[in-house]
Structure 1
Amino acid sequence: MTVLALAITLVAGCSVNRSATASGAPLARQVTESDHCGLTAPGLVYISNASELDRLRRLPSGNLSINQLRAIDLEREHLVLVGLGQKPTGGYGLTLRSAEIVDGVLELTLNARKPPQDAMVTQVLTTPCAVIAITPEDWKQLRVSGEGLDTITRQQ
């Protein structure tokens, strides 16, 4: 009886973690980044089909190459556009650091870059972002976080 109780406790306490798809492909990969995405507030845009991708054209001052994003097979990968919001100068950006599925949550960790205080930067308003292709399988919730970022979650 004690062995059975111990086995149940161990199984219940184990989390399921994965860093690749069943076929061995990465869970996420950075497709591009831009200094001028057009997202004036921090956040994310989830894109799972062509009509959602077409809406990116309407972003104010957006400078993303939609043609490059159209090359993504949205049946196999979805896109996540993560924006830092409006910044007062150049020198800001985002880079994907890691991706992992933990207990049904796809966790994307990004590095947020900001210019050093003594850096010479362009004096222009920017709206930096990163576009990340992700697997749409085996997760129920998306969590995006990183140093210098607010944690953003979204249900699938």
Structure 2
Amino acid sequence: MRLFICALCLFGMIVPTIETKALTFEELPVKQASKQWEVQIGKAEAKNGMAKPEKGRFHTYAVEIKNIGHDIASAEIYLYRNEPNSSTKFSLWNIPHDNAVSLAKSLNDGSPVKHRNLLLAENATELEVDLIWTEKGSEGRLLKESFIFKGR
């Protein structure tokens, strides 16, 4: 019996503690910026008919993207979340190539892109915002930046 208890204690010290992580932020808004872009994660709007966070399932956030650099000719936006124990990332929202030119015009005019109520699974630990664009005068050359937000 003593041997069993000693083995159990030793096993408890050797096996690492399993730590659960989720993408939650200590303080909102959280902002990242480059020379071209500014991406901000903030509190989701809570209007009637909009999703509300559900404990154990998902959080809700607002996302705002601004062009703070050179004028652009086209732009695409993609948001992804990770899945624990997987290299696959899941798409959450996007503004694809079909709207790239009109999106660029809006961003050049100073209008940010806003997603007011983004649902993010509670088991996600990263939110990735990918921006793909072309600059005016260099329309044939795609540029890309990724902003990765990690919670606590």
TM-score (ref. length: structure 1): 0.39
Q: Relative to total residues, which structure has the larger strand share, 1 or 2?
A: 2
Report which of the two structures shows the higher radius of gyration computed on alpha carbons: 2
Q: What's the TM-score, normalizing by structure 2?
A: 0.39
